[in-house]
Amino acid sequence: MYVTLFLCVLAAWLISGDLAILMTGSMLIVAMMLRIKREEAMLREYFGEMYREYAKRTGTVVPKLRVFR
The pLDDT-based confidence of 57 (bands split at 50, 70, 90) is confident
C-alpha span between 4 and 31 (Å, rounded)? 15
CB 40 within 8 A of CB 55: yes
CB 64 within 8 A of CB 57: yes
Size of the chain in residues = 69
Hey, where are the domains in the chain? 2-57
* pLDDT score, position 62: 77
Q: pTM, whole model, 2 decimals?
A: 0.72
At residue 60, what is the residue type?
T
C-alpha span between 8 and 3 (Å, rounded)? 9
- Segment 24-55, tens digit of pLDDT: 988 998 999 999 999 999 999 999 999 999 98
* pLDDT exceeds 70 at position 68: no
